[in-house]
């Protein structure tokens, strides 16, 4: 029970890595706040869990929604011990068919950056404020992607995921004296909603190109999150772990 008596927020908890993380964290004794923009998805996740958990549906690109969510967290639990910034999108309306710069309008660019980067900022800011108020030695985990290194993917997506790594390092330095740790995860190609959106033959080709010969599973990313959010990683901050099957080595 590595997370017993810990209150942890997971964004993007409706499907995939977020849902897998919620399952593992609940088994480890955490009290969870599950956030997603899709109410039915996140409530389905909640139904899979046992324990004291809450759902808060909303768009993290809206800073006022995030502020309201943390008012709810404070009234429900009085504290926050950890955050998994997992919510993210690959494309947004206005992102060109091939997501190339000449095809992307302002709405498409802002849509992806708004969720992946601004949303992480909004959540982390409010979490840190509450951690400092309660003198909590918390842990924050930002979910990036190997696309941050390779540039393989839609332009706005790769940009946002790369920015998350710089955000992680700067924030880790900024908060180290407060005892708050900040780390990142860069999953490689992983089964789930985003992967299901591409043709099966592409998925098969991608899997064949990975040295371990398969796509990652959401549970494997969730177990990395468990390590980083728990005291098992007590001397880790400003670091990036990458469960990717050898698809990217650095």
152 Cβ contact list (under 8 Å, min separation 6)? 146, 158
Contact 249, 193 (CB under 8 A): no
- DSSP E strand stretches across 65-111: 82-85
Q: What's the token pair of residue 191?
A: 């089964």
User: How far is the CA of 206 from the CAs of 70, 134, 219, in angstroms?
Assistant: 39, 46, 19
Question: Does residue 81 sit in helix, strand or coil?
Answer: coil
Q: What's the token pair of residue 156?
A: 């706005």
Contact 143, 183 (CB under 8 A): no
Angle, CA 19 vertex, CA 16 and CA 24 arms, to 5°: 120
Q: Give which of 229, 129, 146, 241 is closest to 194, Cα–Cα.
A: 146
The backbone torsions φ and ψ at residue 182, rounded to the nearest 5 degrees and listed phi first, read -135, 125
Q: What is the maximum alpha-carbon separation in the chain?
A: 51
Q: Which residue has the tokens 């006022």?
A: 64
* 157 catalytic residue (yes or no): yes
The backbone torsions φ and ψ at residue 72, rounded to the nearest 5 degrees and listed phi first, read -65, -45
- Positions annotated as catalytic residues are 157
């Amino acid at each position: 029970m590595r997370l017993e008596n810990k209150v942890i927020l997971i964004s993007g908890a409706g499907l995939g890595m977020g849902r897998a993380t919620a399952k593992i964290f609940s088994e480890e004794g955490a009290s969870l706040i599950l956030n997603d923009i899709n109410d039915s998805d996140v409530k389905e996740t909640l139904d899979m869990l046992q324990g004291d958990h809450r759902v808060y549906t909303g768009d993290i690109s809206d800073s006022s929604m995030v502020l309201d969510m943390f008012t709810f967290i404070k009234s429900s639990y009085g504290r926050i011990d950890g955050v998994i910034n997992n919510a993210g999108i690959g494309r947004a309306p206005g992102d060109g068919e091939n997501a190339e710069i000449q095809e992307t309008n302002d709405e498409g660019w802002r849509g992806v950056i708004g969720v992946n980067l601004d949303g992480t900022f909004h959540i982390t800011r409010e979490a840190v404020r509450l951690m400092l108020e309660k003198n909590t030695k918390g842990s924050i985990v930002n979910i990036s992607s190997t696309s941050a290194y390779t540039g393989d993917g839609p332009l706005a997506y790769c940009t946002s995921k790369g920015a998350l790594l710089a955000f992680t390092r700067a924030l880790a330095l900024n908060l180290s004296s407060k005892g708050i740790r900040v780390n990142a995860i860069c999953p490689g190609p992983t089964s789930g909603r985003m992967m299901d959106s591409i043709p099966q033959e592409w998925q098969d080709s991608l899997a064949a190109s990975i040295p371990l010969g398969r796509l990652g599973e959401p549970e494997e990313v969730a177990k990395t999150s468990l390590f980083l959010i728990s005291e098992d990683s007590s001397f880790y901050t400003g670091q990036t772990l990458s469960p990717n099957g050898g698809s990217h080595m650095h």
